Amino acid sequence: MYKTRYTLLTLLLFTLICTSGRAQITLNGTVQSQVDKLPLPGAYVYPKNDLGKVTTTDKAGHFDLKLEQPDTILVSFLGFQAFSRYVTASDTGLVFKLLPASAASMDAVTVRARKIPSGELASTQISQLDIYLNPAANADPLLAVNTLPAATNVDETANVSLRGSPSAATGVYLNEVPIRSAVRLDQSNGVGQFSIFGQIPLSAVRIYASSPPVNFSQTSAGAVALYTSKMLPTERTSGLSLNLAGGGLSHARPLGKKSGIRAFINFSNLDAFRRLNRQGLPELKASSGFDAAVQLVHQFDDNSALQLFYLGFNERFRFETTTPYYSGDFEQHKPRHLAILNWQLDRGDWSWTLNQSVDWENAEYRFGNSLTAPRRLTGHLATHGQYSKPGVKLLTGGTWNVYADRVKGQFPLTGYELRPEDPSGSFTENTDHQLAEAYAYTQLRLGDKWLAGFGLKPLYRPMAGEVKYTVQASVKYRAGNWHRFNLGGGTFAQFLAPGPDIREWQWLELQQAALEYTYERRFWQVEAAVFIKQESYEQLPDLKVSGAEGRVTFDDKSLRAWASLALVKSKSVAGDIPSRRDLPFLARAQVQKELGGNVNIGIAATWRRGTYFLPVIGQTPLPGTEGWQAPVFAAPFAGERHPNYRRIDLSTSKILPLGEGQLILYLSVNNLLDTENIRNYTYDATYLERSNEVFTRRIVFVGGVYNW
């Protein structure tokens, strides 16, 4: 009997031990950015010894994971350094804080938009999520902005137009420093295919579709603010990227306890890319480039930090261009350098920043007997102060902008003699401009539901003795747990640089108002806005602009889908004639799905009304030429529209844990259905035969990124 009891007791203890050894460990926690403490939805969490048991975080950055035994947990998220930690059954309520990566790859941007928290009167923020889930972004932050409902750019470029205003009226900023030309592969008129930020690791992107804050210099219609990480690297990390267009290397490391450095170099050569996409890019003859960046961060103490950033690049490309009288290659060579200094000091309720930048470029654009060689130097110096107390915020500061342009070249003596051997004249233009700005802005919380702000900014040109004013007011109302309203507007002044439509500097004075609404509950978000503007120029026709936009989004743990519809009326004040940004409808939709096995797929679709243009209705002979004609255009009120624009993009990516790092493989196909979208019409020298000039045809792009 005793032996039997002993045997039963031994079996019971053995069973309990075995059962406890096999008992599952239930883990739960959140994954967030260490920079801004924001949740990271879609991050991968998996045990090192069972990589197939992977889970992803939900919209709030939360995850649940069951383990058979204690293990090392790996946390992976594009754009951030991988994280690992050993966990046991005693670990609950885990919080994993990820640092932004410094990979010179295409993981530097954002694809999911959300409203900025209630403490700020403004628009949309894009956090640094998986860029590959946005098929239409092409790994570029400004192209990602151009996929939002408020973006009304009618080209496939990185030039951002917001709510019917021209791209020149949208300010683009890096660490709150205005960037005069934010694009690459650009024509001499400033229209660029990609932005200069494509390879820069960013911590956040903010979009102000209307009423940009008065502390942002040189903007009127809207603003796009990009920020690099101010956090010190805590360990050495490296990255390697290879794709059809080139490759890159990156490295980050601490320098002692108070300093750190991030650096990358990239090279590009589109020979392989062109061979794979001969039909999609028939006009591109050659393209190559090299760029490098260095970011140094130093923290003097907990309340003071310094950041130095330098970006330099050198690009060349050759593009076949056809005109009625001459067909040849448009050639560009553009070396450029951008240096930015940011210093911040926190003392009590005040925060002070000093921003300084120098931007210089030496470009050359050549086509036939036309040559443009600009030498531009842009300087920016600003100081900003912010006072914050519960319910009260005060912003004040001033900026000084310097523009020194030296442009020389040659031009055809007549508009049709464009061959290299045709006669040409030379020109030299030297312009210098300075612009001083001072501002004050106050924001007050009025109870639990109301937030109001008011700002004033005079703009002064000392060389001309001119003064313009920006006056801004906004109010935000929280009508419950899920409803938000934001009403903002005012009058804004901006000193515009020469662009596609005008060769001279000029003032733009813009009056605008916009009402925005947001509903957010569980997996659903509804956004809507109505707006009205009037744009007054010195050397261009004044425009009246109005419109509306809306988007419905569903976003759970593995699926994100949204659809938007926008319309913009943009017509001249004098003749009620539509501009190119007059869009009776602009519809977009995206679906981003996690298929399992760390595989994601995304589809994006765009459908919009064709742009308004003046057709050629006749021709007159050119004196001294045989068979060449000059066009006769229709009256402005008798214009036509190009056929409607339609495009579908596809992207897919897979993340593979590899050693101490992760390998990301991706494939994107732009214009999947190879739709011929007409951009313009070209004619022969008689103006009797017309051919189509189209946007990009089907483009295939593949590559990989390895971070460790």
- When comparing pLDDT for 333 and 138, which is higher? 333
Question: 502 pLDDT exceeds 80?
Answer: no
pLDDT at 184: 79
pLDDT at 6: 41
For the residues 633-653, what does the mean pLDDT come to? 92
How does strand 450-461 pair with strand 370-389?
Answer: unpaired
Burial class (CB in 10 A: 0-12, 13-18, 19+), 102: buried
* CA separation for the pair 229, 174 (Å, rounded): 11
How does strand 170-174 pair with strand 222-227?
Answer: parallel
CATH code, 476:
2.40.170.20
Task: Please enumerate in sequence order all residues whose Cβ is within 8 A of that of 337, keeping only pairs 6 or more positions apart, or say none.
Answer: 310, 311, 312, 358, 359, 360, 361
User: Could you report the per-residue pLDDT of 83-118, keeping only the tens digit for each?
Assistant: 777 787 767 678 888 876 533 222 222 233 333 333
Query: Do 154 and 73 belong to one domain?
Result: no
pLDDT at 125: 63
pLDDT at 293: 92
Helical H segments across 45-188, by residue range: 141-145
- 320 in Cβ contact with 329 (< 8 Å): yes
pLDDT at 191: 67
What sign does the CA torsion over 159, 163, 168, 174 have? negative
* CA separation for the pair 614, 30 (Å, rounded): 56
For the residues 469-497, what does the mean pLDDT come to? 92
How does strand 237-243 pair with strand 222-227?
Answer: unpaired
How does strand 44-47 pair with strand 55-56?
Answer: antiparallel
Residue 405 within a domain? yes
pLDDT at 584: 96
Residue 698 within a domain? yes
Question: 54 pLDDT exceeds 50?
Answer: yes
Residue 376 CA to its chain's centroid (Å): 24
pLDDT at 399: 97
Please report, as a single letter, which amino acid is at residue 688: L
For the residues 449-476, what does the mean pLDDT come to? 94
Query: Do 593 and 478 belong to one domain?
Result: yes
CATH code, 41:
2.60.40.10
Question: 365 pLDDT exceeds 50?
Answer: yes
pLDDT at 367: 93
User: Could you report the per-residue pLDDT of 276-306, keeping only the tens digit for each?
Assistant: 887 777 788 888 888 899 999 999 988 899 9
Residue 528: which pLDDT band, with cuts at 50, 70 and 90? very high
Query: Do 471 and 592 belong to one domain?
Result: yes
- 319 in Cβ contact with 284 (< 8 Å): yes
Query: Do 54 and 152 belong to one domain?
Result: no
Query: Do 562 and 492 belong to one domain?
Result: yes
User: Pick from 514, 544, 527, 412: which is nearest to 114 by CA?
Assistant: 527
Q: Looking at the 3D structure of the chain, how many domains does it have?
A: 2
pLDDT at 114: 39
- 568 in Cβ contact with 586 (< 8 Å): yes
Query: Do 231 and 88 belong to one domain?
Result: no
Angle at 121 (CA atoms; ends 116, 122), nearest 5 degrees: 55
Query: Do 410 and 521 belong to one domain?
Result: yes
* CA separation for the pair 598, 52 (Å, rounded): 9
pLDDT at 51: 56
For the residues 62-74, what does the mean pLDDT come to? 80
Instruction: Kindly report which listed range (69-73, 368-372, 430-434, 667-671) carries the lowest average pLDDT score.
Output: 69-73
Instruction: Out of 38, 70, 98, pick the residue that ends a domain.
Output: 98
Instruction: Kindly report which listed range (26-35, 436-445, 459-468) carries the lowest average pLDDT score.
Output: 26-35
How does strand 177-178 pair with strand 83-87?
Answer: unpaired
Residue 324 within a domain? yes
Residue 88 within a domain? yes
Question: 504 pLDDT exceeds 90?
Answer: no
- 106 in Cβ contact with 241 (< 8 Å): yes
Residue 121 within a domain? no
Residue 13: which pLDDT band, with cuts at 50, 70 and 90? very low
* CA separation for the pair 103, 81 (Å, rounded): 9
Q: Which two tokens stand for residue 300?
A: 């003097």
- The helix (H) or strand (E) run that includes residue 478 is strand 466-478
Residue 113 within a domain? no
Please report, as a single letter, which amino acid is at residue 536: S
Q: Which residues of 465-474 are buried (b: 16+ CB within 10 A; e: fewer)?
A: eeebebbbbb
Question: 680 pLDDT exceeds 80?
Answer: yes
pLDDT at 298: 94
Residue 179 CA to its chain's centroid (Å): 13
pLDDT at 16: 36
Residue 147 within a domain? yes
DSSP 151: B
pLDDT at 3: 42
Residue 79: which pLDDT band, with cuts at 50, 70 and 90? low
Domain that holds residue 314: 141-418+434-707
Instruction: Out of 46, 75, 98, pick the residue that ends a domain.
Output: 98
Helix, strand, coil percentages, rounded to 5, for the chain: 5, 60, 35
pLDDT at 75: 83
* CA separation for the pair 151, 210 (Å, rounded): 11
Residue 148 within a domain? yes
Query: Do 245 and 350 belong to one domain?
Result: yes
What pTM did the predictor assign?
0.82
Query: Do 158 and 37 belong to one domain?
Result: no
Task: Please enumerate in sequence order all residues whose Cβ is within 8 A of that of 84, keeping only pairs 6 or more positions apart, or say none.
Answer: 48, 72, 73, 74, 75
Query: Do 310 and 374 belong to one domain?
Result: yes
Query: Do 391 and 488 belong to one domain?
Result: yes
- When comparing pLDDT for 132 and 159, which is higher? 159
- The helix (H) or strand (E) run that includes residue 670 is strand 661-670
User: Could you report the per-residue pLDDT of 570-619, keeping only the tens digit for each?
Assistant: 999 998 999 999 999 999 999 988 887 778 888 999 999 999 999 999 99
Query: Do 212 and 66 belong to one domain?
Result: no
Report the chain's mean pLDDT, rounded to a whole number. 84
- The helix (H) or strand (E) run that includes residue 577 is none
Instruction: Kindly report which listed range (427-431, 470-474, 651-655) carries the lowest average pLDDT score.
Output: 651-655
Please report, as a single letter, which amino acid is at residue 521: R
pLDDT at 519: 92
Task: Please enumerate in sequence order all residues whose Cβ is within 8 A of that of 5, keeping only pairs 6 or more positions apart, or say none.
Answer: none
User: Pick from 81, 97, 88: which is nearest to 31 by CA?
Assistant: 97
pLDDT at 216: 94
Instruction: Kindly report which listed range (12-16, 372-376, 424-428) carries the lowest average pLDDT score.
Output: 12-16
